[in-house]
Amino acid sequence: MSFADKSFSFEFFPTKTEAGHEKLMAVARQLAAYQPEFFSCTYGAGGSTRDRTFDTVMQLEREVQVPAAPHLSCVGDSKAELRQLLAQYRDAGIKRIVALRGDLPSGMGMAASELRHANDLVEFIRAETGDHFHIEVAAYPEMHPQARNLEDDLAHFARKAKAGADSAITQYFFNADSYFYFVERIRKLGVEIPIVPGIMPITNYSKLARFSEACGAEIPRWIRKQLEAYNDDSASIQAFGEEVISRMCEQLLVGGAPGLHFYTLNQAQASLAIWKNLGGAA
Ligand code: FAD
């Protein structure tokens, strides 16, 4: 089966050290050979990575022949700060932005926040920069952890599309049905933007469990039990993870997902293994 018409993208986070940054760039060069549609780089809510995200995006754009998209979140940043950053990106020729609300680190107040939800940020970006940017937003097939119910969450997602988002990337999940159900329900609300599944390769169980707890992604019992049983046998965890995630990706693409967005955690191997299992070639 060929998925040549599907779009693939990879996400990185900006690193704190020079060595980490060099590694990120090496990973990006390796992944660039597979001609993804874009790379994205996360942003620390409240601006904690403002400069590092900017510098990483600019270096990716300059040195690796793949368009780079910065993430931008609105909580903890003022309109003036967001306006300045948007102008810098626009002037530097960046064409795509991932627009988010963000999660402030505990203890950091909302004082600087003038925009409280991602739909406010999308509206702001459109008001400031017109149609310059392709705007990606976040979607939650298993519901955002703070959502009261699915109906509210769907309605809030629909607001982002109405405010001018062009497409969406989902939080990761391990249950393809949640994605298909989310897409079906959102289409019934008349929202037609592409919704690309976010894919988290499985490489380390304890980290994955911690992270999934925080972001509200459910690890199904049969996956969790098996990963627990492997204990610290990382080769078996990776082999099992690769098989399970590759199967889910195939199911998603066959079922109509427009592409896949990989949360690489700045590692090439796990995402590439899945991509190759899906028939992707350099
Ligand atoms: P929103 O769409 O604003 O939704 C947040 C919550 O508020 C939801 O419960 C929603 O139902 C509700 N809501 C939305 N709009 C309204 C409204 N108008 N009125 C009332 N309630 C509303 N975080 C970072 O800090 N940096 C990153 O780089 C980053 N990248 C991400 C990339 C992807 C693809 C994804 C899926 C998430 C990312 N996150 C990132 C995490 C994200 O910031 C958090 O999940 C955050 O809690 C919500 O962001 P959002 O943009 O989905 O918010």
Ligand 1 atom, smallest distance to 140 CA: 36
Catalytic status, residue 11: yes
Distance CA 202, CA 185 (A): 28
Cβ 9 vs Cβ 39: under 8 Å: yes
pTM over 0.95: yes
Domain 7-277 of CATH type 3.30.160.270: no
Taking alpha carbons only, the member of 77, 47, 72 closest to residue 57 is: 72
How far is residue 239 from each of residues 10, 128, 172, 202, measured CA to CA in Å? 21, 47, 19, 9
Q: What is the pLDDT of residue 14?
A: 97
The Å distance, Cα 74 to ligand 1 centre, comes to: 10
Domain ranges of the chain: 7-277
Cβ of 28 closer than 6 Å to ligand 1, yes or no, is no
Q: pLDDT tens across 23-63, in order?
A: 999 999 999 999 999 999 999 998 899 999 999 999 999 99
Residue 163 banded pLDDT, cuts 50, 70, 90 = very high
Q: pLDDT tens across 211-262, in order?
A: 999 999 999 999 999 999 999 999 999 999 999 999 999 999 999 999 999 9
Ligand 1 atom, smallest distance to 118 CA: 3
Q: pLDDT tens across 178-202, in order?
A: 999 999 999 999 999 999 999 999 9
Residue 94 has pLDDT above 80, yes or no: yes
Q: What is the pLDDT of residue 147?
A: 96
Residue closest by Cα to atom 23 of ligand 1: 102
